[in-house]
Amino acid sequence: MNPRSPRRRAALCAVGTAVLVAVTTATAPAAPAAATGGELTAEEFRPQLVTVDTPTREDKRLLQTLGLDLTEHAGHDYVEVVLHSPADVTALLAAGLSYAVRIPDLLVREAENSRVNAAYAAATTTSPLPSGRDAYRTLADYDADMAALERDHPDLVELITLPHRSLDGREIHGVEIGADVRGPDRGLPTFVMLGVHHAREWPSGEHAMEFAVDLVENYGNDPRITDLVNRSRVVVVPVVNVDGFELSRTDGGLVDLREVDQGGTGTILGTPGNAYKRKNCRLVDGQDTPDGTCRAGSLTSPGGYGTGVDLNRNYGGYWGGPGASDLFADPTYRGAAAFSEPETQNIRELVSGRHVTTLITNHTFSNLVLRPGGVAPDQVPPSEGIPLGDPYDEAALKALGDAMAAQNGYTSQHAWELYDTTGSTEDWSYNATGGFGYTFEIGPDEFHPPFPQVIDEYLGAGEHAGRGNREAYLLALENAVNPATHSVLTGKAPAGATLRLRKTVATPTWTGSIEDTLDTAMTVGPDGRFTWHVNPSTRPVVKDRQVETVSSEPVAQETFTGTTLPLQSTDSEFTVDRDADLFEIVLDWPTPDDMDLEVYRKNADGSLEQVGGSGNFVGEKERVLLQDPAQGTYVLRAINFASVAPTWTLTASLFDAESSSVPGLVENWTLTCEVAGQVRQTVPVVVDRGQQLRVDLKACGRR
Q: What is the pLDDT of residue 77?
A: 80
Residue 1 in domain:
no
Tell me the chain's radius of gyration from C-alpha atoms: 26
- Packing angle between helix 202-218 and helix 451-459, nearest 10 degrees? 50
More confident residue, 677 or 46: 677
Residue type for 702, please?
R
What's the 3-state SS for 589-643? CCCCCEEEEEEEEECCCCCEEEEEEECCCCCCCEEEEEECCCCEEEEEEEEEEEC
Task: List the domain range (segments joined by +) for residue 72.
Answer: 12-104
Mean pLDDT of 43-62: 83
Q: Is the domain of 456 the same as that of 315?
A: yes
| pTM for this entry | 0.76
Mean pLDDT of 32-60: 68
Backbone angles phi, psi at 469, to 5 degrees: -70, -25
Three-state DSSP class for 470?
helix
Q: What is the pLDDT of residue 37?
A: 38
Q: What is the pLDDT of residue 616?
A: 45
More confident residue, 255 or 663: 663
pLDDT band at 298 (very low <50, low <70, confident <90, very high): confident
Q: Is the domain of 29 the same as that of 90?
A: yes
The residue from 484, 514, 543 where one domain ends is: 484
- Asked whether residue 263 carries a pLDDT value surpassing 50, the answer given is no
Q: Is the domain of 227 the same as that of 375?
A: yes
Identify which of 569, 641, 567 has the alpha carbon closest to the alpha carbon of residue 600. 569
Q: Is the domain of 351 the same as that of 225?
A: yes
Mean pLDDT of 299-312: 80
pLDDT tens, 202-231? 999 999 999 999 999 999 999 999 999 999
More confident residue, 264 or 320: 320
pLDDT tens, 602-614? 999 999 987 876 6
- Edge-first strand listing for the sheet containing 436-441: 157-161, 173-177, 233-237, 190-194, 356-363, 436-441, 368-371, 411-414
Domain count, the chain: 3
pLDDT band at 619 (very low <50, low <70, confident <90, very high): low
Question: Counting Cβ atoms within 10 Å, is residue 665 exposed (0-12), middle (13-18) or buried (19+)?
Answer: exposed
Q: What is the pLDDT of residue 270?
A: 34
Q: Which range, of 125-129, 198-202, 606-610, 660-664, averages the lowest pLDDT?
A: 660-664
Residue 500 in domain:
no
Q: Is the domain of 140 the same as that of 182?
A: yes
Report the sign of the C-alpha dihedral through residues 617, 622, 628, 634, in that order. Answer: positive
The residue from 484, 502, 529 where one domain ends is: 484
Q: What is the pLDDT of residue 264?
A: 25
Tell me whether residue 471 is one of the annotated catalytic residues: no
Continuous H helices in 169-232 = 202-218, 223-230
**CA atoms lying within 13 Å on the CB side of residue 45:** 24
Mean pLDDT of 500-508: 96
| pLDDT, mean over the chain | 86
Q: Is the domain of 331 the same as that of 223?
A: yes
Kindly state the percentage of the chain with pLDDT values over 70. Answer: 87
What's the 3-state SS for 542-553? HCCEEEEEECCC
Q: How far apart are CA 542 and CA 1, in angstroms?
A: 32
Mean pLDDT of 155-170: 97
Continuous H helices in 483-527 = none
Mean pLDDT of 161-190: 96
- Asked whether residue 371 carries a pLDDT value surpassing 90, the answer given is yes
Q: Is the domain of 155 the same as that of 99?
A: no
Residue 158 in domain:
yes
Residue 211 in domain:
yes
The two beta strands, 513-523 and 678-685, are unpaired
Q: Which residue out of 80, 176, 201, 441 is catalytically annotated?
A: 441
Mean pLDDT of 67-89: 82
Q: Is the domain of 179 the same as that of 69?
A: no
Top mean-pLDDT range of 28-32, 304-308, 548-552? 304-308
Residues facing residue 517 across a β-bridge:
504
The residue from 74, 104, 134 where one domain ends is: 104
- CATH number of the domain that residue 248 is part of: 3.40.630.10
Q: Is the domain of 100 the same as that of 130?
A: no
Residue 117 in domain:
no
- Asked whether residue 40 carries a pLDDT value surpassing 70, the answer given is no
DSSP 287: B
End-to-end CA distance of the chain: 63
Question: Counting Cβ atoms within 10 Å, is residue 198 exposed (0-12), middle (13-18) or buried (19+)?
Answer: buried
- CATH number of the domain that residue 590 is part of: 2.60.120.380
Cα 412 to Cα 144, 368, 462, 484: the distances in Å are 34, 6, 19, 22
Q: Is the domain of 434 the same as that of 475?
A: yes
- Asked whether residue 470 carries a pLDDT value surpassing 90, the answer given is yes
Residue 495 in domain:
no
Q: Is the domain of 99 the same as that of 236?
A: no
Residue 675 in domain:
no
- Asked whether residue 618 carries a pLDDT value surpassing 70, the answer given is no
Q: Which range, of 115-119, 168-172, 230-234, 379-383, averages the lowest pLDDT?
A: 115-119
Q: What is the pLDDT of residue 614?
A: 62
Q: What is the pLDDT of residue 419?
A: 74
- Asked whether residue 34 carries a pLDDT value surpassing 70, the answer given is no
Q: What is the pLDDT of residue 29?
A: 32
- CATH number of the domain that residue 28 is part of: 3.30.70
Backbone angles phi, psi at 615, to 5 degrees: -135, 70
Q: Is the domain of 96 the same as that of 132?
A: no
pLDDT band at 256 (very low <50, low <70, confident <90, very high): very low
Residue 496 in domain:
no
